[in-house]
Structure 1
Amino acid sequence: MKVVVIGDALVKSATLKDAVLQMNLEGKIDKIEVFEWHSDLTKDHFQKHILQIERYGPEKVEIPQGILEALKDAEYLFAHYAPISEIMLKSAPKLKMIGTCRGGLENVNVAAVRELNLPFLHVIRNAEPVADFTIGLMFAETRNIARAHLSIKSEQWRKSFSNDAYKTTLANMVVGIIGAGYIGRLVIKRLNALGIKVIVYDPFVDPAIFARDQLSVELKSIEEVFKEADIVSLHMRVTEQTKNMINKDLIQLMKPGSYIINTARADILAKDDLVDALKNRKIAGAALDVSWIEPIPKGDPLLSLDNITLTTHIAGDTVDAIPRAPYLLKDVVNAYLKNGYSDMLIK
């Protein structure tokens, strides 16, 4: 049996190979062939390739040299950020499984995977950090933590803010979750622990999962969530169906004292509609860890708003999230091979 692994600047091929050796794959591993995808770059220089593949997908970036030949007799393919494109998949007639040790799917041609009916497993390597950060942004935006800090650094002592008429404790608010996948459910778990009412929209999640995970939620339509929630937190993937899904039609349903939090992907939110709502005080504020262009360019309208908290796409960035990722994938693969199912199986 042959396994192909592709390392990159963040997850080294040696680590991924070590995790593969701990997988209970079907049969004896005869060969693990290793490839690299910009593994020689620093984290900062690798960022441009991350942004490229997240925005344009696996068909628009270069693939590792020699990999098409290697995939001809490979039965398993594991990677992190490297592209898994249609030509790669169609070069691998013996492939039994694909695994990636990250949550996003932008680097994989999912349609091609489905067409070939291959099991595709992934892991939300930074799910816990993102869930923590999401809660942090809720506090930071609603209670003006970042703005007060900025005023002190600017030699001011600011006590008044644009949301003064709506300031209250998080316990008095209703939080709406759009997208109750793995990260969304971790956010719900934290909100439940804080005693905060949670309403949810996700037509693709089996309602039985909430009972299984002992989560207290009310399921609503997306329009009901935007009408009723004081904070709407976005946790969806970017697809053709979800791009610009959160637009003026939904934002105009929100209460004047409500907020939008986005730690998912920028493209699910219509930028001009959000800027208009914030500029004209149609909603109280927003907090974004992701932006449509990163870094945010000088002169961007986001930078002139006084009712938004911006961070530099760091929600999932902790010292242990990425190094643990291959071993999380190992656990997911082993559980799937043992039980025949997994929450991390992309269908």
Structure 2
Amino acid sequence: MKIVVVGDALVASSDLEKAAQELNVNEEVQVEKFEWYSDLSKEAFQEKILAIEKGGSEAVEIPAGICEALVDADILLVHIAPVSKKMIASAKKLRLIGASRGGMENVAVEAATERKIPVIHVIRNAEPVADFTVALMYAETRNIARAHLSIKNGRWDKGFSNDAYKTTLAKHTVGLIGLGYIGKLVAKRLNGLGVKVIAYDPFIDPKKLVDEGLDIELKGLHEVFREADIISLHMRVTKETTNMINAELIGMMKPSAYLINTARAAVLDESALINALEAKQIAGAAIDVFWEEPIPSHSPLLTLDNITLTTHIAGDTIDAIPHSPYLLRDVINDYFEKGVSDMQVNLKS
């Protein structure tokens, strides 16, 4: 069996190679390695990541010689290197594509689906993002970042724009939009803190949530926006979810409610959020993802006193990304054993 792996500046090709060698394929494995901008600094590599997140798999260069290597390949493993339509078209024998990350912007999933090639991925930083999401709930509702900023600026502020609504987290109802891997981890943490959790996800079986030991009440999208004190977004970016959280939905939120986004900026209508915050239509927001990164100096978000901003660091821990090939190995082996996987993004029966 031939497996092609593509390393980059964040995930070493040697780790992807080792993970490939540990797949349970019951035959001898031949690995061919490629590099995709592995020599770039982390900062320079972020520009390539942003290009992919904005333009998808066709927006960046593919590794030289990879199409030729894929002609007789059985499996392709990458981190964020592109898996373009051209690459998939050249892969005459390909049986599986694996990506050691959560977002699928770098993979031409539709092209893989047309060829009936399963695409498997992992949420490499799910635990860090879940932790960070709950931290943002505390930071925004209790003004932690704003108090810090006031001291750094020589003030001792005790009053904030959400003073009329301040209370403990346990007295809030949190509404999760999307119950994928990260959404469920956030729910698990909130369950442990005694926080009531409601959620919207039309693809989730309520019985499965019970089997997983999660206390979540599934509701309609409008119900969640009307009832929750904190809305937290956990959807992938698709044609259907782009700008899904719009002025209409935000307009349904309580004046005392907060909006948290650690998913992708594209799922949230930027103008709708800014307008709601400027008008004090909702109590506040906390976001770790932006429509343009770094955030432009002229952005209205920088003038607001009811938002917490962080620099897209929710998943940034020292171990999450380097370990991701081995998470992918485990998920693929589980898929080989069971024939199905929650981490399969296409061709689900």
Q: TM-score range by the shorter chain?
A: over 0.9
Does structure 1 residue 8 correspond to structure 2 residue 8?
A: yes
Q: What does the per-residue CA deviation read over 1:206-256, in whole Å, with 9 as the maximum and x for residues that have no partner? A: 223211211001111110000000000000011111111001100000000
Q: 1:90, 1:25 → 2: CA distance?
A: 24
Supply the distance in 1 between the matched residues of 2:135 and 2:33 (Cα, whole angstroms).
39
Question: Structure 2: how far apart are the matches of 1:340 and 1:241?
Answer: 28
Alignment map for 1:193-342 (pairs within 5 Å): 193-342=192-341
Answer yes or no: is 1:343 the counterpart of 2:342. Answer: yes
Per-residue deviation, 1:337: 0.8
The whole-number CA distance in structure 2 between the counterparts of 1:340 and 1:178 is 28
Give 1:204 deviation, angstroms: 1.6
- Amino acid aligned to 1:336: Y
1:26 positional shift: 4.4
What CA distance in whole angstroms lies between the structure 2 residues aligned with 1:215 and 1:246?
25
1:168-207 → structure 2 map (5 Å cutoff): 168-207=167-206
Q: In structure 1, the residue corresponding to 2:311 is in which secondary structure?
A: coil
CA distance in 1, matches of 2:196, 2:206: 17
Inter-partner Cα distance in structure 2 for 1:26 and 1:123: 23
Instruction: State the AA in 1 paired with 2:45.
Output: F
1:19 shift after superposition? 1.1
User: In the aligned structure 2, how far is the partner of 1:85 from the partner of 1:26?
Assistant: 29
The residue identity in structure 2 corresponding to 1:17 is E
Of all paired residues, the percent bearing the same amino acid is: 62
Output the CA distance in 2 between the equivalents of 1:292 and 1:208.
36
Given residue 107 of structure 2, which amino acid in structure 1 is its aligned partner? V
Equivalent residue letter for 1:207: P
Deviation at 1:28, TM superposition (A): 1.4
Bigger Cα displacement from structure 2, 91-100 vs 131-140: 91-100
C-alpha offsets along residues 149-191 of structure 1, whole Å, 9 cap, x if unaligned? Answer: 0000001000000000000001100000000000000000000
Q: For 1:141 and 1:326, how far apart are their aligned partners in 2?
A: 34
Return the alpha-carbon distance in structure 2 between the equivalents of residues 253 and 104 of structure 1.
29
Q: 1:11 and 1:26 mapped to 2: Cα distance? A: 26
What RMSD over aligned residues (CA atoms) do the two structures have, in Å? Answer: 0.8
Paired residue type of 1:134: T
Output the CA distance in 2 between the equivalents of 1:176 and 1:64: 42
* 2:88 equivalent in structure 1: 89
Question: Partner of 1:294: helix, strand, or coil?
Answer: coil
For 1:7 and 1:87, locate their aligned partners in 2 and report how far apart those are by CA, in whole Å.
19
Matches of 1:133 and 1:109, distance apart in 2? 29
1:24: which partner in 2? 24
Residue aligning to 1:167: 166
Aligned residue identity for 2:98:
G
Partner of 2:33: 34
User: 2: CA distance between counterparts of 1:322 and 1:45?
Assistant: 17
Partner amino acid for 1:21?
Q
Give TM-score, length-normalised by structure 1: 0.99
Corresponding residue of 1:50: 49
Code of the residue aligned with 1:157 in structure 2: it is W
- State the SS of the aligned residue for 2:322: helix
TM-score by length of 2: 0.98
What is the one-letter code of the residue matched to 1:94?
A: K
Q: Distance in 2 between matches of 1:204 and 1:46?
A: 35
Deviations 1:134-157 (A, max 9, x none): 000000000000000000000100
The aligned amino acid for 1:135 is: V
**1:153 is aligned to 2:118:** no
CA distance in 1, matches of 2:194, 2:271: 34
Instruction: Name the aligned partner's letter for residue 140 of structure 2.
Output: E
Q: Gaps spanning 5+ residues in structure 1: where?
A: none
Question: Where do 5+ consecutive residues of structure 2 fail to align?
Answer: none
Secondary structure of the structure 1 residue equivalent to 2:175 = strand
Alpha-carbon shift at residue 114 of structure 1 (Å) = 1.1
Q: State how far apart, in whole Å, the 1-side matches of 2:37 and 2:208 are.
A: 39
Q: Which amino acid aligns with 1:343?
A: D
